[in-house]
A and B are shown apart, each in its own frame.
Chain A
Amino acid sequence: MMRYSGLRVIKEALSGHKGWWPAWRNPEPAEAYDIVVVGGGGHGLATAHYLAKEFGQAKVAVIEKGWIGGGNVGRNTTIIRSNYLLDGNEPFYEMSLKLWEGLEQDLNYNAMVSQRGILNLIHSDNQRDAFIRRGNAMLLNGADADLLSIDDIKKRYPFLNTQDARFPIKAGLAQHRGGTVRHDAVAWGYARSADSRGVDIIQNCEVTGFRIENGACKGVETTRGFIGAGKVGCAVAGNSSRLMSLANIRLPIESHVLQAFVSEGLKPVLPGVITFGAGHFYCSQSDKGGLVFGGDIDGYNSYAQRGNLPVVEDVCEGAMAIFPMLGRARLLRMWGGIMDMSMDGSPIIDKTHIDGLYFNGGWCYGGFKATPASGYAFAHLLATDTPHETAKAYRFDRFETGRMIDEKGMGNQPNLH
């Protein structure tokens, strides 16, 4: 693999940029692999990278129906954080944040990991109590959390409307290690690293079925023929139910659309990520200057990668409530992605009842930040047949045994998580 470095950039600049070559190969599928990962999103590619690098698995393929990075990994609002409350979640997301912190060195790829901090605004005394509890849970799990007073907040973010009569800002819970990452670069960086370790990344190849004999999965049927596999790991996010139905598996998941928005480019105004605590709105500023923001999912099952107008209105109302200045900016682009919303709002990384068939999904609207840990934990499960320490709670059977991991306490109503 060609190593990237500052020196290399200078050398190429002086020699007409003729020395760069494609960051990964475009191989024909082999007849069989030890492990086939279905889905070339962030999670699938990260799984392949860790399988090759940490678990010494060489004969691995990632099979993607479109192009890598064309799914949610390239559609999200790029926020990373580990500010969860529950024991089943927090150690996992904290491990993910630690992996983000070393990612660029691990991959030798500039993923623009920017720990610019995330601030959750607090608007009532009860909410303050809830956030203090969450902050304490984070600290107990080795993460960072900082309760900011209203004076701290005004100093950092003078443009916030702190005086709103209906939703005054009282305080905020900050995680200074949170931030944003260049989402496409995550897919490309993992792909390049996996490819250099011998993983075949096979694009434009849709899995159309599983070959299951005597209760064991022997490989996948694809639009480019049968590909044999010792083990098959599925990580297809919003398409989880569709894919797993090919193995007659029904999932505790509904697919919903989530929209995102970008304003025209502005001078630097917003140094970190801010979330509104009284409605659903979150915002950061990209390095190009656009304000990147979003809010609630549209709320009904959808496989259309575009949303409807009532949510646009709702998100913009949230924006205006805390950032009145945003009303002067024009919206440049908006789009949608399909979320695999699980019944308790938490993910699943587990074996299925079919030998050799493994599942990773149910990431809801928060799977981008999970990418490194999800890849690591899924690689661990695929390579060793045991769950990773931090992902032990992400089992299928938790719904049957009543061990839900429901951060919001909403119950089995996916559109409320």
Chain B
Amino acid sequence: MIIDHPLLGPRDSAEFTYMGDARLIERPSPDAEDAAAAFYEYAYLRDNPAGLHRELWFHEAGDRSWLVVTRNTVTHEIAKVELATDVARAKGRST
């Protein structure tokens, strides 16, 4: 698989480490009333779809940036690659 890195261009997926569903960016608040339940869902439950999946890849053997890759889990076709920091900031996070 080739991942088209937004800064570095096309790179072999073997340079990356896979982390899983990009929802991991949306860490629940530890201060919320339902924090225990929210963290259980955050840490353990997954949609695991057959089809488009937004997922985190870490460019370990490269520039060490985190990417959000939108990939079809049936065909391995990659529809979109974003920097995870951009995705997180768009959600109002500071980093």
Contacts and interface: CB of A to CB of B under 8 A. Distances in A.
Nearest to A341: B48
User: Which of A253, A254, A308 has the most chain B CB within a 10 Å cutoff?
Assistant: A254
Residue with the highest number of chain A CB atoms closer than 10 Å, among B21, B48, B73: B48
B90 interface: no
A242 B14 contact: no
Contacts of B44: 252, 343, 399-400, 412
A194 B11 CA distance: 51
B46 A254 contact: yes
B80 interface: no
A415 B76 contact: no
Interface residues of B, number: 25
Contact of B46 (A253, A303, A308, A415): A253
Nearest to B75: A304
B48 A253 contact: yes
A222 B12 CA distance: 41
Interface in A239-288: 241-242, 245, 250-255
Nearest to B53: A301
A401 B18 CA distance: 27
Nearest to A301: B73
Interface residues of A, number: 24
Contact of A304 (B21, B53, B55, B74): B74
A413 interface: yes
Interface in B22-55: 40-41, 43-50, 53, 55
Interface string A319-355: 0000000000000000000000001000000000000
A241 B46 CA distance: 8
Interface in A376-417: 399-400, 412-415
B30 to A, nearest CB: 16
Nearest to A314: B14
B53 to A, nearest CB: 6
Given A299-B18, A413-B20, A255 B48 contact: yes
Contact of B48 (A254, A310, A400, A415): A254
